[in-house]
Amino acid sequence: NWRPEGGHGTGNRFMPLDTVAMGPGPMLMAIAGLYPGLTAAELRAPQPLPFAPAGGWNYHRLLADGVPTGFVALPGNELVAEHPDTVAVVCDGTSLGVEFADGASHECLALIDRSDEAVANPGLLDPRQFYALSDAAGRVHIRWSDGVPEGWTVQGRLIFTQLPHVKKPGSGGGFAEMDDDFEF
C-alpha cells in the first residue's frame, strides 16, 4: 500500500478534502492608497504580485518594505486575472458616486489596471470607461471622461469596483427565506 500509516484512506478514515476550483484562485492585490487624495506616484508605486495558476495558489512573503500600503485578498476573478498589473485603491464610496442600500458611505475597492493601452497612448481612452487620471499636480481622479484634459495623464483603467455587502435597513421581514439578502 502506497499510503503512509495514519494517512488519508487508511484505517477506514478519510480526511476532509476540498479541491480548488479550476478558475482563478484568490488574488492578493497590492493597495495603492486612499482616494480621494491619491497621487499618481502612489498609484504607480506598488509592484503587483503574480496571480496563481488556474486551480492553484501562490505563496508570498511580505517584507517590511515590500508594499508599505498593504495588500487585500479578493475572490478569484477572470477579468482581474487577464490584467496582472492591477492594484486596489481604497475609496470612499461617495467619492466615486456609489450609493449604498443603507444610505451611508462605505469603503470600496477600485481595481485599476495600470497596463491599459490608454496609459501609453491617451488617444485610445474609451469615453465609456472609467479611468484613473492624474491632474497636473499629480492628484488622481477616478472618473470617466470624453478625453484626457489638458495637462492630465492616464494612470490606468478601472476594471471594476468591489463593494462590501450592505444590508438594507428594515429588509428583514421575519422569514429569512423571503429576505432578498438571504444566503444559504
Question: pLDDT tens, position by position, for the chain (184 residues)?
Answer: 666 665 666 778 765 655 557 777 778 888 999 989 999 999 999 888 777 777 666 666 666 665 666 778 888 888 888 998 999 998 888 888 888 888 888 888 889 999 999 999 999 999 889 999 999 999 999 999 999 999 999 999 999 988 888 887 876 655 655 555 555 5
Cα separation of 150 and 5, whole Å?
71
Q: Is the alpha carbon torsion for 87, 27, 76, 183 positive or negative?
A: negative
C-alpha cell of residue 45: 508605486
Question: How many residues would you count in the chain?
Answer: 184
Cα separation of 72 and 97, whole Å?
22
107 sits in the region (left: phi over 0; alpha: psi -120 to 50; else beta) called beta
C-alpha cell of residue 82: 487577464
What is residue 119's DSSP assignment? Answer: H
